[in-house]
Amino acid sequence: MAERGLSIVAMGGNSLISPELAPTVANQFQLAARAVAPIADLIEAGERLVITHGNGPQVGFMALRSELSREHIHEVPLDSLVANTQGSLGYMVQRALGEEFRRRRFKHEVVSIVTEVEVFPDDGAFEKPTKPIGRFYTDDESDTLAMERGWDMVYVENQGWRRVVPSPMPQKIVQLPTIRRLLDQGVTVVCCGGGGIPVVRAADGSIDGIEAVVDKDRVSALLGLALGADRLFLTTGTDAIYRDFSTEQRKRIESLTVSDVQAMAVEGQFPPGSMGPKVEAAIDFVASGGLVSVVCSPPKLVEAFAGKAGTRIVSD
C-alpha cells in the first residue's frame, strides 16, 4: 500500500476553552481529551499528521497573570509567554492523544516541540500592531497603559480597550529539520504552537526573541509547504465558510477556488479578526503547491478528511 500523504491539522486555541466551563487547567485537559478524539481516529486509520495549535485565550491568561503580579515578581516578555503556552498546551495535546491511544491499545508515538519561528525585524507589522492579546481595559486604564508602558491599544465596541501587538509574517521554522526527522520515524509531531515563538536572526547567526505574536494559521501553511504536505486543515468555531455569514441570508459553501476566495475577500466577506487570517493561509498553501486547504469545525474533522464536511479551497 502506498504511503499516505502528509496533512497539517491546525487546532484553534479555543478548542480547549468552553463558554460552559471555567477556563481552569483541569477543564482544559478535559476539553483536550474531547478535541483529540477525531485526530486519534485519523491516525489510527493510517493518516500522517502534524498538529499545530493556537494559544489566544491561554496567552491572554498568562499575560494577565504576569501583569497582576508585577509588583511582586518580574513580568514575562511576550516571546516567553508564547513559549510557556507552547509547552503547556503541547503537553495537553500530547498527553490527551497518548491516553486516547492507550485506551484503544494502539501503539503510536506523539511528541510536542517548542518551536521558534523567524520573522524579519523590519516587517511592517512592527509599525502597525494589530493582534489583540489579554483582557479589556477601561478608558482611564488604557490611557495609563499607553503612556506608562508604551502599549498600543485598540477599542472594541461595547467591550473596551485591548492591547494590540505586532503580528509579522513567518519566514522560517527553526526546528524544521528536527520535525522532519521525527516524521521520518513515524512520530506524530505537535509543533508551532501559537504561531511559534517569534525570533529575529542577527548577521552573526544568533537569534533573539521579539515582542510579537505570529499568526498560527499562516505558520501552519508555511510548515505544510516546507514539509511537502498535501493538505491543510484549519479548524474553527464554524463548520464551513459562509457567504454573508452575519446575516439571515448566510449561505454555506462546500468548495471554492483561490479566485473565488479572493473575490469574496474583496467583497469584505472575511473580517480581519475572524475568518480573514484563515482564508489567507488557505490561499497561500494552495497557491504555493499544496493540493487543498479545508476549513471545518473540530468535531467534523474526520468527515472533512473524507470530503463530506467543511469548505475545500483548491487551485483554479
Provide the residue count of the chain.
316
* Cα–Cα dist 166/264, whole Å: 26
Annotated active-site residue in 12, 55, 84, 278:
278
Active site residue 14: yes
Active site residue 131: yes
* Cα–Cα dist 209/212, whole Å: 9
* Cα–Cα dist 169/150, whole Å: 23
Closest by Cα among 303, 255, 291 to 4? 291
| Helix H or strand E segment including 304 | helix 301-305
Active site residue 158: no
Annotated active-site residue in 134, 193, 195, 216:
216
Annotated active-site residue in 55, 84, 131, 134:
131
* Cα–Cα dist 64/58, whole Å: 10
298: buried, middle or exposed (CB in 10 Å: 19+, 13-18, 0-12)?
buried
Q: Which three cell numbers stand for residue 124?
A: 511592517
* Cα–Cα dist 194/115, whole Å: 10
Q: Could you list the active site residues?
A: 13-14, 131, 216, 278
